[in-house]
Structure 1
């Protein structure tokens, strides 16, 4: 049996895992899983205590995307029967923020499909963000695709706190998932938002036929990028997408991935994101021992768990909602 607790103590002292140690976590025997979770919690508790950050998504523009991402129901190569609509108006975006505020959500995530936003879409989002900040004082995250420097500057001026642009997978596996943009395009966008003074959010999707070496590479890339928030998505394979029928994950492996992310990026917000309900299933509560953040409500084109069930889960665990007004 590995001494996971000793490894956690070393991480708290600044130690960086070797690739062998990283692989050991992903290959952790199931009978050692509770011990691994306890050790990951030691790191999480050191930096975040028993607090959990809540995030909520509004899908302000759905479908109609020219990109060919294999996991996405909104992409040009998807035949999934989803709602398709252009950018919501300002009033609708603000209405979503009001709902998020009522649910004690700390970060409201404004998401739009597409390769990148048109300037008029940036203007609509920026105008809405100014009003949201004035009315609700909540943190706002935008996720609008590849940005230009002047667009990033406008979002910063409007009050956007954080910008999400996931690397999704490893550099080596990227072309197996999409060819309409490069891995480096994604990295450049994260660097651009950092230069604009916006907090970077970047994460991954697990379960897209990647290797464990790919998972290790993802975590190390996010460490180099210095992403403040790391959403860990677990593939929810949607019928009509190229990854339809992919089912590589089980709840125990998902928990090991979350622990691994905590060991590699100990100080960062680790968020259990899309696919939580269908992949962690009855083990969802255990995910909050390594992770300190979750989405509540629905995702982009798939349904999430009832918000009341999420709040009850946190209460049952003895965790506290970390509501951090901006």
Structure 2
């Protein structure tokens, strides 16, 4: 069985990343089968509970208030709408429900209290609850944990050097500090990046290096393909080739064997055959539903058909979860 390591060198990761694609996918598939059930894929749903008007200047994001996109800023969704979406997601087969708010940092307002209520309610549905609300204080992280939050998403996006060229309103160190806050409060870490923003292979390798050399690997590693949105500085970026996604997923799988590697944004632009290569490379989670925050996503019926054709089965909530991450009122699946 592949060893869990946090001492990967950039040279080792570079050798992996640049190896012949079919050899890389074969090795990743071998590691995947050693650490995960073959063909088991977690189905997740992501809902934007507060859309647009974000003060950050992330060059890829249509929710930034600095860019002229079709995304209209709005108030936080009503509790009934959020709970209804979670129930609908569960009935459609999702076992993880993620709530995203276009905030620079979690607010010290009634909106944050509403998030805590939603975490409690959706956890009671026996779903893994994940939030992405921007930077967190230790006090806020503790409150989320107490409410039953299972996971927190806060992506590194890319290498530190490239990050500093696409975002000026928040530092790489800010992101690392938020991840440390999440980890210190025994919340499962969801952290990955985006492919196709104009970064080099070396930037991608550094991202994997930064993730795989953390003291503990992120339990969840989303690999996103950029969806170029009109009005953002990256509106003219070309579509990410499927083989770049497969290469990133395979490299993540080999270096972080126990992590859930999520085939995330951009899947809507991939054929079933292209997605199949990503599953072979070690992806074992997808997002389904009409939208991924504000961008289009794959149709549920298409995903059901793909699961049938590829022989994929949905993964249970909390399966193999670490005891300290599971809410007290929930029993983890073995």
Q: What TM-score does the superposition give when structure 1 sets the normalisation length?
A: 0.90
Tell me the residue number matched to 1:246: 237
2:48 alignment counterpart? 59
Q: Does the Cα contact within 8 Å between 2:260 and 2:285 map onto a contact in 1?
A: yes
1:99 aligns with 2:91: no
- Is it true that 1:131 corresponds to 2:121 in the alignment? yes
Structure 2 SS opposite 1:259: helix
39 and 231 in structure 1: CA distance in 2 versus 1, 3 angstrom threshold: same
Q: Determine if the alignment matches structure 1 residue 275 to structure 2 residue 266.
A: yes
The answer to whether 1:284 aligns with 2:275 is yes
Query: Hey, what does 1:6 align to over in structure 2?
Result: none
- What does residue 29 of structure 2 align with? 41
2:105, 2:133 within 8 Å by CA — same for their partners in 1? yes
What secondary structure does 2:160 align onto? coil
What's the offset of the Cα at 1:171? 1.1
Deviation at 1:24, TM superposition (A): 3.7
Per-residue CA deviation, residues 163-200 of structure 1 (Å, 9 max, x unaligned), is 00111111111111100010000110010011111111
- Take 1:174 and 1:17, find their aligned partners in 2: how far apart are those partners? 21
SS in 1 for 2:33: helix
- Structure 1 residue aligned with 2:315, among 306, 312, 322? 322
Give the distance between the partners of 2:160 and 2:64, measured in 1 at CA: 20
Instruction: Write the mapping of 1:223-242 to structure 2, written as runs, cut at 5 A.
Output: 223-225=212-214, 226-242=217-233
Whether the 8 Å contact between 1:254 and 1:280 is mirrored in structure 2 is no
Preserved contact between residue 156 and residue 196 of structure 1 (Cα < 8 Å): yes
Per-residue deviation at 1:279? 5.2
The separation in 1 between residues aligned to 2:127 and 2:240, in whole angstroms, is: 34
Structure 1 CA distance, aligned partners of 2:164 and 2:12? 27
Q: Is structure 2 residue 213 aligned with structure 1 residue 220? A: no
From the superposition, tell whether residues 47 and 309 of structure 1 become closer, same or farther in structure 2 (CA, over 3 Å). same
Match of 1:3 in 2: none
Contact 2:272 2:306 in 1 (8 A): no
How much does 1:25 deviate? 3.8
Residue 172 of structure 1 aligns to a residue whose secondary structure is helix
Q: Is the 8 A contact 2:57 2:167 kept in 1?
A: yes
Aligned partners of 2:157, 2:23: CA distance in 1, in Å? 28
1:256 aligned onto 2:244 = no
2: CA distance, partners of 1:201 / 1:44: 19
Distance 1:64 1:303, change over 3 A: same
CA RMSD of aligned residues (A): 1.8
Distance (whole Å) between structure 1 residues aligned to residue 162 and residue 277 of structure 2: 29
The structure with more helix, counted as a fraction of residues: 1
Runs of 4 or more consecutive aligned structure 1 residues displaced over 6 Å after TM superposition: none
The one-character-per-residue Cα deviations of 1:107-143 (angstroms, maximum 9, x if unpaired) are 1001111201212222001112212222x11110011
Aligned to 2:285: 293
